[in-house]
Amino acid sequence: MKIIHTADIHLDSPLCGVADPNGRRHELLSALNELSAYADNCGVRAVIVAGDLFDENNASEQTVRSVADIVSRSKADWFVLRGNHGGSAPYALLKGLCPQIKFFGEDWTYYELGNVTVCGRELGVNDEENWLRLRLDGARYNIVVLHGDVDDPSYGAIDKNVLASCGAKYVALGHRHAFCEYRFGKVRASYCGALESRGFDECAQTGFVEIDTDADKIKFVNQALRTVVTKRIDVTGVQSDLALERTISDAVADASKRNYLNAVFCGELSDGLHLSMVASRVLEGKFFALRIKDETSAKTDIRAVSEEVSLRGEFVKLAMQLSDEQLKKDVLKMGLAVLSGEAPQ
């Protein structure tokens, strides 16, 4: 039996900082529709959503109705955990529109599909007793569905010892937005990651996990309408703004305009270059979303500048008195940028 494990879709997220947030929100919905089409085309029996299908109560009625339409047309059974970003309102509406969806409650909830048992519950704080109530038949292929952080119990503790000995074959996790695998004893587990990147903090490959219960195998299936592309641009040795413009253009020449561009500048920045202005002029409006990060160090003879009879010289003298080396470096970098007419990063 094939089963899809997805999570952290966050439909109707605010999506600040992208060129077309409304369009991107629709693309997140399209990604879910593509997942459903993949399931139908590949003979997938069930789809497990391990939390955060919606983004709090931001989900509009139209979005919930669209999800109901996707599920109603799907050949697979759908199992949905609310997670910690799931306000109750959109799920209540979805349950009314699509009663065939199997939801998990505050207590362990069990569903059977042939020789497979899918069970899960919404995590809470101080719920150690709930873990003792987990009961699984070791003769079946048992999948446990949870939404939380395996290393941080602040939202809800995940009892690794119970999972290692409960008879589970696979633990479908949600909460972390990058695919990663775990072992609880001999029990396999994974975070499936986000279905689509929503911002620059989601740089990992996006997609979902496909479980083959007959072969006892899992695989990550990459799915991405847009991705976050990081370009590290070394400006060492660049001596003019025009040369800087060419350096930036060459560095991003192979980056698709449809993606998120994370432009990270590094190396030694020659004194007098207008990095922020030139980078903005070259890159603004060219990509779906843009982040410019300045990690350069100033190529400036600080001691020589400190001896100048100028405002810049007086500033450097004061900054050099700072005892914290990193703070001193940051203050000098920002201050010299401002004094040269460059907007600080």
pLDDT at 214: 96
The domain 2-222 having CATH identifier 3.40.50.300: the answer here is no
Tell me if 334 sits within 8 A of 322, measured CB to CB.
no
pLDDT at 345: 53
Nearest-Å Rg of the Cα atoms of the chain is 26
Task: Tell which phi-psi region holds residue 126, choosing left (phi > 0), alpha (psi between -120 and 50) or beta.
Answer: left
Q: Where in the chain is the domain with CATH 3.60.21.10?
A: 2-222
Phi/psi zone of residue 8: left (φ > 0), alpha (ψ -120 to 50 degrees), beta? left
pLDDT at 316: 86
DSSP-based three-state secondary structure for 111: strand
**Cα–Cα dist 345/342, whole Å:** 9
- Residue 344: its pLDDT value, please? 55
Which pLDDT tens digits describe the chain residue by residue (345 residues)? Answer: 999 999 999 999 988 777 788 999 999 999 999 999 999 999 999 999 999 999 877 789 999 999 999 999 999 999 999 998 657 889 999 999 999 999 999 999 999 999 999 999 999 877 888 999 999 999 999 999 999 999 998 888 899 999 999 999 999 999 999 999 999 999 999 999 999 999 898 889 999 999 999 999 999 999 999 999 999 999 999 999 999 999 999 999 999 999 999 999 999 888 889 999 999 999 999 999 999 999 988 766 777 788 888 888 888 888 889 988 888 888 887 887 787 766 555
Task: Please tell me the pTM assigned to this model.
Answer: 0.83
Measured distance CA(298)–CA(300) in Å, rounded: 6
> Residue 121's pLDDT is what?
96
Question: For position 80, what pLDDT does the model report?
Answer: 97
Q: Which residue has the tokens 């561009």?
A: 261
Beta-bridged to residue 6, according to DSSP, are 49
Do you know the residue count of the chain?
345
pLDDT value, residue 85: 65
A 10 A CB-CB count for 13 gives 20
In whole angstroms, give the CA distance from residue 98 to residue 96: 6
State residue 296 phi and psi, 5-degree precision: -75, 160
